[in-house]
């Protein structure tokens, strides 16, 4: 699927490249486009930063140059996966320690 890159989306991509990580949050347009379920992350953490590798950065830059992003077979889209059961349990144990 192709999606036109708006100014807001371009700014989010540039911020992601600058920070070298992707922030999973309610405001993220990339979450919406790639059907990233932020509820998994928000149960245990307000936001989760995911480090993105060099290939993903190249892909993000290509999208900006093209003026649209391509969701099919996206390296970036495959990088962001929901947390595993183990991740959830670790996060829950950290929350319990705070009480």
pLDDT score at 65: 96
DSSP per residue over 24-70, as a string? E-TT-HHHHHTT--HHHHHTT-S-EEEE--HHHHHHHHHHHHHTEEE
- Higher-confidence position of 29 and 26: 29
pLDDT score at 95: 58
- Distance between CA 34 and CA 7 in Å, rounded? 18
Average pLDDT over all residues of the chain: 84
pLDDT score at 34: 86
- Higher-confidence position of 50 and 58: 58
For the whole model, what pTM was predicted? 0.74
């Amino acid at each position: 699927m192709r999606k036109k890159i708006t100014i807001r989306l371009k700014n989010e991509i540039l911020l992601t490249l600058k920070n070298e990580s992707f922030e999973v949050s309610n405001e993220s347009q990339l979450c919406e486009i790639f059907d990233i379920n932020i509820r998994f992350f928000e149960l245990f953490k307000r936001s989760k930063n995911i480090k993105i590798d060099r290939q993903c950065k190249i892909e993000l830059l290509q999208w900006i140059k093209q003026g649209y992003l391509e969701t099919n077979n996206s390296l970036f889209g495959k990088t962001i996966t929901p947390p595993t059961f183990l991740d959830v349990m670790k996060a829950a144990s950290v929350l319990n320690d705070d009480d």
